[in-house]
């Protein structure tokens, strides 16, 4: 599997100038390529091949007075800028023809020096190197100081240098990892419910709240944003406020990501299998729940769980939320009445008192386990036994299978 490892880097003022030059050259080559392809299309010509683009915009352009300065940066950086353009085109075509699923992609757009994120990529053949003294050597840039927060598991195949809106620099390494990272197996399995009152609720009863320091930082960010909106357009004070907001924003994002990393690592370490709701977050985003869901960064958290599960040898499953996870009793399978959002606890006629969210998480766990069993063994071919809708089934396993809710029991 491929993983990204990102670290903060601290270029000297001189290196910052070299980096700015490289960002600029990469941007120019990218834009030249886009313009050339657009012109060819308008003229009714053929789509320019990747090879031809590279020949005309890098090799030949360097010999012209207008583009001679392209020779001052690593050629790999320029080639990678064209590679980005080619990928953008391929994704766009695949999206137009329907080969690529999901949201429709727009055609590639010109890059601007005002873009929030400037980036260049060095591949292996650029001979970038992590030196023994911990510095990162980049061709035609120099040796950069890196803040290593962990060690790279193996030799990186590429490094992308990024400058963000807050003026910070990062090195993002791509590393191929080996299979030897498997964690020792454990017995526990867990279901996770997206809480609206909590960040997450686990089937073992754990309720995870967004930490106070994060909420405080988010409040501060909102205040800075309000300050910014009161500043006059084009004023020096406004410029200062923009940087302040960008810094605060970056800080909140970093802190939140760190916290989510710790939480996801702990859940993966403690459980052999993790099941989550397959929320169509994009769909949910259109409702009034949008703010809380996006604030909580739920989608990214799930993505962390998924890749960590793959990496450490754990099972991960998404559960379709077409069963009423909240009002189905995780003990007896009865389906209760619809509940208002403010109902946090309910009693089932079977005698169980449920915490609304923990009950939902338990159902997610059970459905995830049933799905996994069905996927895995041919011996568990579902025998479709019709059962009346809403019937209270006594065997807990049957009761908890999703299909029994639809009136069909699987076991
Ligand atoms: Zn019950």
Could you read off the pLDDT of 260-313 as tens digits, one per residue? 999 999 999 999 999 998 765 444 544 545 445 555 578 788 888 988 888 888
Q: Return the minimum-mean-pLDDT range out of 148-152, 179-183, 313-317.
A: 179-183
pLDDT of res. 298: 80
Secondary structure of the chain as H, E, C letters: CEEEEEEEEECCHHHHHHHHHHHHHHHHHHHHHHHHHHHHHHCCCCCCCHHHHHHHHHHHHHHCCCCHHHHHCCHHHHHHHHHHHHHHHHHHHHHHCCCCCCCCCCCCCCCCCCCCCEEEEEEHHHCCEECCCCCEEECCCEEEEEECCCCCCCCEEEEEEEECCCCCEEEEEEEECCCCCCCCCCCCEEEEECCCCCCEEECCCCEECCCHHHHHHHHHHHHHHHHHHHCCCCCHHHHHHHHHHHHHHHHHHHHHHHHHHHHHHHHHHHCCEEEEECCCHHHHCCCCCHHHHHHHCHHHHHHHHHHHHHHHCCEEEEECCCCCCCCECCCCCCECCCCCCCCCEEECCCCCEEEHHHHHHHHHHHHHHHHHHHHHCHHHCCCCEECCCCCCCCCHHHHHCHHHHCCEECC
In angstroms, rounded to a whole number, what is the distance separating the alpha carbons of residues 234 and 215? 31
**Pairing relationship of beta strands 200-202 and 156-163 according to DSSP bridges:** unpaired
Percentage of the chain exceeding pLDDT 70: 83
Instruction: Check whether 391 has a pLDDT greater than 50.
Output: no
Q: Could you list which residues have their CB under 5 Å from ion ligand 1? A: 329, 331-332, 334, 348, 350, 352
pLDDT tens-digit profile of 326-384? Answer: 888 999 888 888 888 788 899 999 999 999 889 989 999 998 888 777 665 433 333 22
**Whether the Cβ atoms of residue 405 and residue 335 lie closer than 8 Å to each other:** yes
| Residue 324 in tokens | 């009423």
Q: Say which of 32, 84, 189, 193 is annotated catalytic.
A: 193
Question: How many A from CA of 331 to the centre of ligand 1?
Answer: 5
Closest by CA position to 397, among listed 331, 328, 320, 325: 331
In angstroms, rounded to a whole number, what is the distance separating the alpha carbons of residues 84 and 75? 14
Q: State yes or no: is 406 an active-site residue.
A: no
- 291 Cβ neighbours under 8 A, 6+ residues apart: none
Instruction: Check whether 393 has a pLDDT greater than 70.
Output: no
The residue with greater pLDDT, 392 or 43, is 43
pLDDT of res. 56: 95
Question: How many A from CA of 164 to the centre of ligand 1?
Answer: 52
**Whether the Cβ atoms of residue 48 and residue 57 lie closer than 8 Å to each other:** no
**Pairing relationship of beta strands 129-130 and 136-138 according to DSSP bridges:** antiparallel
pLDDT tens-digit profile of 57-69? Answer: 999 999 999 999 9
Mean pLDDT of 131-143: 94
**Whether the Cβ atoms of residue 325 and residue 193 lie closer than 8 Å to each other:** yes
Question: How many A from CA of 316 to the centre of ligand 1?
Answer: 27
In angstroms, rounded to a whole number, what is the distance separating the alpha carbons of residues 252 and 258? 10
> What is the b/e burial string over 76-98, where b = at least 16 CB atoms within 10 angstroms of the residue's CB?
bbbbbbbbbbbebbeebeebeee
Question: How many A from CA of 329 to the centre of ligand 1?
Answer: 5
In angstroms, rounded to a whole number, what is the distance separating the alpha carbons of residues 51 and 60? 12
Question: How many A from CA of 399 to the centre of ligand 1?
Answer: 10
pLDDT tens-digit profile of 170-217? Answer: 999 988 766 666 788 899 999 998 766 788 899 999 999 888 888 888
pLDDT of res. 209: 85
Instruction: Check whether 319 has a pLDDT greater than 90.
Output: no
Mean pLDDT highest for which of 215-219, 220-224, 387-391, 401-405? 220-224
Percentage of the chain exceeding pLDDT 90: 41
Mean pLDDT of the chain: 82
Q: Say which of 32, 84, 189, 277 is annotated catalytic.
A: 277
Please give the C-alpha separations between residue 39 and each of 33, 48, 53, 348, in angstroms, as whole numbers. Answer: 10, 10, 13, 68
In angstroms, rounded to a whole number, what is the distance separating the alpha carbons of residues 202 and 143? 46
In angstroms, rounded to a whole number, what is the distance separating the alpha carbons of residues 85 and 110? 10
pLDDT of res. 405: 28
Instruction: Check whether 250 has a pLDDT greater than 70.
Output: yes
Q: State yes or no: is 375 an active-site residue.
A: no
pLDDT of res. 338: 83
pLDDT of res. 88: 92
Mean pLDDT of 313-326: 79
Q: State yes or no: is 277 an active-site residue.
A: yes
Full-model pTM: 0.58
pLDDT of res. 66: 93
Question: How many A from CA of 328 to the centre of ligand 1?
Answer: 8
**Whether the Cβ atoms of residue 280 and residue 302 lie closer than 8 Å to each other:** no
Instruction: Check whether 386 has a pLDDT greater than 60.
Output: no
């Amino acid at each position: 599997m491929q993983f990204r490892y990102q670290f903060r880097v601290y270029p000297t003022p001189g290196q910052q100038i070299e980096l700015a030059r490289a960002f600029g050259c990469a941007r120019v080559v990218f834009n030249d390529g886009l313009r050339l392809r657009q012109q060819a299309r308008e003229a009714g010509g053929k789509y320019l091949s990747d090879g031809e683009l590279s020949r005309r915009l890098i090799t030949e352009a360097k010999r012209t007075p207008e583009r001679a300065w392209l020779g001052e940066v690593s050629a790999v950086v320029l080639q990678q800028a064209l590679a980005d353009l080619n990928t953008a085109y391929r994704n766009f075509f695949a999206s137009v023809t329907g080969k690529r699923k999901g949201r429709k992609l727009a055609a590639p757009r010109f890059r601007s020096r005002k873009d929030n994120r400037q980036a260049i990529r060095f591949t292996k053949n650029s001979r970038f190197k992590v030196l023994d003294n911990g510095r990162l050597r980049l061709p035609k840039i120099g040796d950069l100081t890196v803040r290593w927060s962990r060690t790279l598991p193996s030799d990186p195949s590429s490094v992308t240098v990024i400058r963000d809106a807050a003026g910070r620099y990062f090195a993002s390494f791509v590393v191929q990892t080996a299979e030897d990272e498997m964690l020792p197996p454990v017995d526990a399995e867990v279901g996770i419910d997206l809480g609206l009152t909590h960040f997450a609720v686990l089937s073992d009863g754990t309720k995870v709240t967004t930490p106070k320091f994060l909420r405080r930082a988010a409040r501060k960010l909102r205040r800075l944003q309000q300050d910014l909106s009161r500043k006059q357009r084009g004023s020096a004070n406004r410029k200062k406020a923009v940087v302040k907001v960008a810094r605060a924003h970056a800080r909140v994002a970093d802190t939140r990501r760190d916290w989510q990393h710790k939480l996801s690592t702990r859940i993966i370490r403690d459980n052999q299998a993790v099941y989550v709701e397959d929320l169509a977050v994009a769909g949910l985003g259109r409702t009034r729940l949008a703010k809380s869901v996006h604030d909580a960064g739920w989608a990214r958290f799930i993505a962390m769980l998924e890749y960590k599960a793959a990496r450490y040898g754990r099972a991960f499953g998404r559960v379709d939320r077409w069963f009423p996870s909240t009002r189905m009793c995780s003990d007896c399978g009865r389906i209760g009445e619809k509940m208002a959002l403010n109902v946090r606890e309910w009693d089932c006629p079977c005698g169980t008192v449920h915490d609304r969210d923990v009950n939902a998480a338990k159902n997610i766990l059970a459905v995830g386990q049933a799905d996994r069993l069905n996927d895995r063994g041919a011996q568990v071919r579902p025998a479709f036994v019709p059962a009346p809708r809403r019937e209270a089934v006594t065997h807990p396993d049957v009761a908890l299978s999703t299909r029994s809710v639809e009136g069909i029991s699987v076991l």
